[in-house]
Amino acid sequence: MRLMCRKLRTDVGPERALAILGARAGKLGLAPPAALCGEWFSSRAVIALNASLTPVRDVAEAFSIPTRMPDVRDAVPGAVGGGWFGYLSYDLTDPSGRSGALPPAAWGWVDRVLRLDTDGTWWFEALVPDGDPDPIDEVSAVESALAQLPEATTWRSSPLSRPLPSEHYDAVKACVHAIEAGELFQANICARFGGRFTGDPIALFAEGVRRLGARRAAFLTGDWGSVVSFSPELFLARHGRSVRSTPIKGTLPRRDAADEHLARRLRESTKDVAENVMITDLVRNDLGRVCATGSVRVPELLAVRPAPGVWHLESTVEGSLAEGIDDAALLAATFPPGSVTGAPKIRALDLIAELEPTARGVYTGAIGLASPIAGLELNVAIRTFEIHEDTIALGVGGGITADSDSDAEWQECLHKSAPLERLLG
């Protein structure tokens, strides 16, 4: 198989490109597009022209699918070409066995993508079987489509219903008691908001990309429903044998650029710093299980970064995969992400199952792409809408430590959900 790359003559934005491609796929009776926007594979956007995603219910199968790659010749630096678009839900490894409305996982092979590089140039990239001609006609057709105005689509959502604050208070207090009893150091306790939804999920994602500027935004859809993610967090990036994770822990409300000086309070917060350091150490241990001895390091600790509606503390952990380790083994060692579970992870998973009343679904799982050329990149599925039939759900939560305050933890949930609820209108 070979890679074909062609520069496109268009300066359309990624949100408009996705809307156009969605309408085009519907008219042609093709599978809908999928999209990654923000900071993915050293590009601003990677959009699958058509992505037919198949539900997967077995955890081992869900982890192994991204390893099934063809050999590709003549790879171009920076190119993606295609690969497996999909998601892994938290439900895959929930010890309670609960499941949300969407399938536990879904993957789909894609051999045509549009990629927007950091210079603002669009590329048509295709993985072409040996002996087949280059799809030049497709390039022209897509270029012509992108010159058109997108059809106007929209959505409607009811206000999201929330659990009683007292329910979250009780779960936080129970978690603090477990920490005080020495059962664990930290756990992520979450709540689930929900409402009614009608309209076009692509329109919701496109508007969210325009307004929120999330670094790890992702969109997937199919007969099973839609995942609309505005995540700021990288779960895994594997390029060649190098692997990287950037766990987020520590949150402060963010109202506008003028309050940047307030973000320094995060570095001075005993609770937020403790959250981040503990989870960074957990991620080091997870990667240490599959990386070469001595290769795991923390090049950045406790950096303050903006995200929709909040400031976050984030750290970066890097390593080099040991010989014989593939993406399936990497996922088995690290999933679900440490930042949305706790430390130690096994006890945190059990405690989450005890204290949270409903399944998390896709929320706190991972979404992204595995490419035979560019490697693997997955976000942490936070700030993520899950749409099923006429319902929409949003998970929110935070890390609980020994000095957590129940009311402050509930307010953190509301700070995280606020920009997404405003987006829904």
Whole-angstrom Cα Rg for the chain = 21
Q: Strand 105-110 vs strand 186-199: parallel, antiparallel, or unpaired? A: unpaired
Helices (H), 231-303: 264-268, 270-288
Number of H-type helices and E-type strands within the chain? 10, 22
Q: Quote the CA–CA distance of 310 and 39 in Å, as a whole number.
A: 18
- The Cα–Cα gap between 287 and 192 comes to 30
For the chain, what's the residue count? Answer: 425
8 A C-beta contact, residue 87 and residue 105? yes
Evaluate whether 353 touches 334 at the Cβ level (below 8 Å). Answer: no
Block residue for tokens 């997108």: 150
Beta bridge partners of 395: 192
Q: Shortest CA distance to 26 belongs to which of 136, 138, 153, 125?
A: 153
Structure tokens at 407: 């009311």
**Spatial CB neighbours of 137, under 8 Å, sequence gap ≥ 6:** none
Measured in degrees and rounded to the nearest 5, phi and psi for residue 411 equal: -65, -35
From CA 374, how far away is CA 78, in angstroms rounded? 7
- Alpha-carbon distance of 366 to 122, in angstroms, equals 26
User: Which H or E run contains 332?
Assistant: helix 327-334
Which residue, among 361, 351, 353, has the nearest Cα to 381 in the 3D structure?
Answer: 361
Catalytic positions: 233, 249
Q: How far apart are the first and last CA of the chain?
A: 46
Contact call for residues 308 and 316 (beta carbons, < 8 A): no
Given a contact cutoff of 8 angstroms between Cβ atoms, the answer to whether 86 and 110 are in contact is no
